[in-house]
Structure 1
Amino acid sequence: MLVETSARDDETPAPTCRQARPENGCAECKVRPISVCSVLTPTELDELETLGQRLTLDKGQTLFGQGEPAGAVYNVIDGTLRLSRLLPDGRRQVMGFALPGDFLGLALQDVRSVSAEALGPVRTCRFARKDFDALVEAKPHLLRSLHERAGHELALAQEQMLLLGRRTAEEKVAAFLLGLRDRYARTGRSSVTVELPMGRQDMADHLGLTIETVSRMLTRLDRAHTILIVPGGVRLVDVERLEQLAAT
């Protein structure tokens, strides 16, 4: 069975992390169909399970920090994490947001290039990198799955570059909302209401805008009846209009 723990990469327990609740193992994991481990057989899942530890974080807690040793990889089971980088001039760049099914720490780096902070309650599975690397080496089909995931992440990075390019502020916000909707749909949460666990400042730091501009663009889209701002998110009222903006 997966060991329940709150240990971090340096093996020092994070004192405020809560112990994960017991649940079924990897074979019953709700994000397995959309995660890299979806290609594993039941026997291989049992093998993976012996290597893992479950971690639970509360809002504001850090899974790992920028500059820390990259000694583990993580599979996000529940919740959302903000991935951010502190620039040399002290500014913060939000690189993205990790959702259920995302696998963190696959980059071949000795230290973390970003920090991962919980935007609400988060559950993850942690695997020591050396153990996970040994498993991957022994399972070619798992390696292919990782390559596919790396290609997906590259596509997201390219989309982010486009997002920060010549698009207007309104187009950036529209593209962000549609992108988040599509990612939620991939996890089985298909809805016209898009949850926004991140704050306006997080969105601004991700889109290369100011918080005032993000708020103004959301208000403009709301007044144009393109979206409806609701508690905790937005409802996509005129998806066709959003898609027109995002495709610009």
Structure 2
Amino acid sequence: MAVALKPAFAPRPPPQSGGVDRLESSDCDTCGARALSVCGAADDPDLQRLGDLAEVIRLKSGAALIREGEPAPHIFNITSGSLRVYKLLPDGRRQITGFLFAGDFLGLAIGETYVFSAEAMEASTVCRFRKGPFRVLVANSPPLEHMLLDRTSHELAAAQNQMLLLGRKTAIERMASFLLDLPGHDPTRPSAPGHVRLPMKRGEIADYLGLTIETVSRVLTRMKVKGLISIPSQNELIVERPERLRQHASGEL
């Protein structure tokens, strides 16, 4: 029997306004996310200019980086940790649209105001750039411009995959797809084969997959009983039968 797909979202508390520390400068040479981010395409002179433009922000778990509806003067590059990106409906329901990790850029396709909110799921660091100077630098650096175009194309593909995930897949197919896809988004913290880090809570997974938290718990238990996964802790999961999980993700079972 298929698991019910009724998306029910509980009203969420406002994000924490504290927990944000700002530093004056960045050190691109020691940044662990450099090779994975747009900055990796910059040659030494452009990298120096990027470093001069960047303001490093340290976020505590739960702290808000940006809020929906606020003026959007900045672009962000995540250098460590992880963030949840979401939109709120007028009645307080939340739809998480993505989880971002080191190397991800935020705000590339934003207008004059932020159309979503972003909060830290754990202690995180972010480089912040003012849009105007950043765009001038990119316009004069073909490698950076090419990398940004490539990132934008990947974001569009990810949005299309998310539409498919929410629109056509069953609950177990959504969860299987999520668990198989998640490790590839956090390459600065590699884990043993089959191990999946879960910095997000069960409710956040539910809000991302368009399910209830009860359905998420039920599907994970069902997978565990079938021997597809094991759950050593709330923040870690092990895929025991990857081929079987892939069959669930593709709808073959």
Structure 2 letter corresponding to 1:240: E
Q: 1:222 aligns with which of 213, 221, 224?
A: 224
Gaps of 5+ in 2: 1-16
Partner of 1:189: 190
Rounded to whole Å, the distance in 2 between the matches of 1:213 and 1:15 is 32
Q: Displacement of 1:105 after TM fit?
A: 0.6
Gaps of 5+ in 1: 1-13
Residue deviations 1:71-95 (CA, integer Å, cap 9, x gap): 1011101111110101234321100
The answer to whether the Cα contact below 8 Å between 1:82 and 1:98 also exists between their aligned partners in 2 is yes
1:42 matched to 2:44? The reply is yes
Q: Displacement of 1:181 after TM fit?
A: 1.8
SS in structure 2 opposite 1:127? strand
Q: 1:123 aligns with which of 118, 122, 125?
A: 125
1:233 matched to 2:226? The reply is no
Q: Displacement of 1:97 after TM fit?
A: 0.6
In the TM superposition, 1:84-163 aligns within 5 A as 84-163=86-165
Partner of 1:211: 213
Rounded to whole Å, the distance in 1 between the matches of 2:218 and 2:19 is 37
The answer to whether the Cα contact below 8 Å between 1:27 and 1:42 also exists between their aligned partners in 2 is no
SS in structure 1 opposite 2:167? coil
Q: 2:248 aligns with which of 231, 245, 248?
A: 245
Residue deviations 1:171-230 (CA, integer Å, cap 9, x gap): 10010111102223x435143211111111111111110000000001111111111112
Structure 2 letter corresponding to 1:150: T
SS in structure 2 opposite 1:70? coil
Rounded to whole Å, the distance in 2 between the matches of 1:135 and 1:20 is 22
Q: Structure 1 residues 233, 132: closer, same or farther in 2, change over 3 A?
A: same
Partner of 1:69: 71
Rounded to whole Å, the distance in 1 between the matches of 2:67 and 2:20 is 15
Runs of 4+ displaced beyond 3 Å: 18-22
Q: Displacement of 1:15 after TM fit?
A: 5.4
Residue deviations 1:18-51 (CA, integer Å, cap 9, x gap): 35699x7213311111111111111211111010
SS in structure 1 opposite 2:87? strand
Structure 2 letter corresponding to 1:153: E
The answer to whether the Cα contact below 8 Å between 1:227 and 1:235 also exists between their aligned partners in 2 is yes
TM, length-normalised to structure 2: 0.87
Structure 2 letter corresponding to 1:242: L
SS in structure 2 opposite 1:154? helix
SS in structure 1 opposite 2:109? coil
Rounded to whole Å, the distance in 2 between the matches of 1:21 and 1:47 is 14
The answer to whether the Cα contact below 8 Å between 1:20 and 1:123 also exists between their aligned partners in 2 is no
The answer to whether the Cα contact below 8 Å between 2:121 and 2:200 also exists between their aligned partners in 1 is yes
Q: Structure 1 residues 21, 241: closer, same or farther in 2, change over 3 A?
A: farther
Q: How many residues align?
A: 233
Structure 1 letter corresponding to 2:250: A
Rounded to whole Å, the distance in 1 between the matches of 2:21 and 2:197 is 24
The answer to whether the Cα contact below 8 Å between 2:19 and 2:61 also exists between their aligned partners in 1 is no
Structure 1 letter corresponding to 2:156: L
The answer to whether the Cα contact below 8 Å between 2:102 and 2:188 also exists between their aligned partners in 1 is yes
**Percent identity of equivalent pairs:** 43
